[in-house]
Amino acid sequence: MFLLMRYIAKLLKALASETSPGQIAGGIILGMIIGLTPLSSLHNLLIVVLILVLKVNIGMAILSFTIFSGIAYLADPLFHSFGVWLLELESMQETWTAMYNNEWIALTEFYNTVVIGSFVTAILLCFPVFPLARYGVLQYREHIHAKIQKWKIVQAFKGTKFYSIYQTVNRVRG
């Protein structure tokens, strides 16, 4: 329970921080891509590198990965069906064959129906999720953050010795 409350507090802190909404939304979509696709896929290594290199919120990427992993578990049959459809497209047969015959591109495992179906779905979802996440962060900061700070449970938590120690440690760590 304490661990859950700590993560919720970190989530709310990240949403209210000076981090730009684009950085938070970027973390969300990169975590979404990793979460929706099979974890052992080669392209996920590239996404992890992007998370580390780009200035995105790593905490949001981890949270997004966790949430979308659960969604992916339920959506795998849909990803499989979509992947079958993609791999059976007559107009793409030469492309798929060339990719499969190239030993470097074959490492991506795009010949696997779940991998290609989930990857294409994740990429397509980036287009609506990024602006929606960005908008959600802006709305949270403008309308919801001040209300949450007024909740009695938040006020009570801020009055505890634990919170003052946490604030001190946070200031020291930067």
Q: 32-43, pLDDT tens digit by residue?
A: 999 999 988 889
**Is 170 inside a domain boundary?**
no
Percent of residues, the chain, with pLDDT higher than 70: 74
Which structural domain, as residue segments, surrounds residue 125? 2-144
**Is 52 inside a domain boundary?**
yes
- Is residue 1 over pLDDT 60? no
**Is 12 inside a domain boundary?**
yes
Q: What is the mean pLDDT of residues 32-60?
A: 92
**Is 80 inside a domain boundary?**
yes
> Residue 49 CB: number of other CB atoms within 10 A?
10
Q: What is the mean pLDDT of residues 92-99?
A: 92
Q: How confident is the model at residue 154 (pLDDT cuts 50, 70, 90)?
A: low
Q: How confident is the model at residue 170 (pLDDT cuts 50, 70, 90)?
A: low
**Is 113 inside a domain boundary?**
yes
**Those residues with Cβ within 8 angstroms of residue 32's Cβ, 6 or more apart along the chain or in another chain:** 64, 65, 68, 122, 125, 126, 129
**Is 139 inside a domain boundary?**
yes
Collapse the DSSP code of 90 into the 3-class scheme (helix H, G, I; strand E, B; otherwise coil) and give the result.
Answer: helix
DSSP state letters, 109-159: -TTSHHHHHHHHHHHHHHHHHHHHHHHHHHHIIIIIHHHHHTSHHHHHHHT
Distance, in Å, from the CA atom of 68 to the CA atom of 62, rounded to the nearest integer, reads 10
Which pTM does this prediction carry? 0.80
**Those residues with Cβ within 8 angstroms of residue 92's Cβ, 6 or more apart along the chain or in another chain:** 86
Distance, in Å, from the CA atom of 42 to the CA atom of 31, rounded to the nearest integer, reads 15
**Is 163 inside a domain boundary?**
no
Q: What is the mean pLDDT of residues 51-75?
A: 92
Distance, in Å, from the CA atom of 72 to the CA atom of 65, rounded to the nearest integer, reads 10
**Is 159 inside a domain boundary?**
no
- Is residue 123 over pLDDT 90? yes
Helices 58-87 and 2-16: crossing angle in degrees, nearest 10, is 90
Number of domains in the chain: 1
Distance, in Å, from the CA atom of 172 to the CA atom of 163, rounded to the nearest integer, reads 14
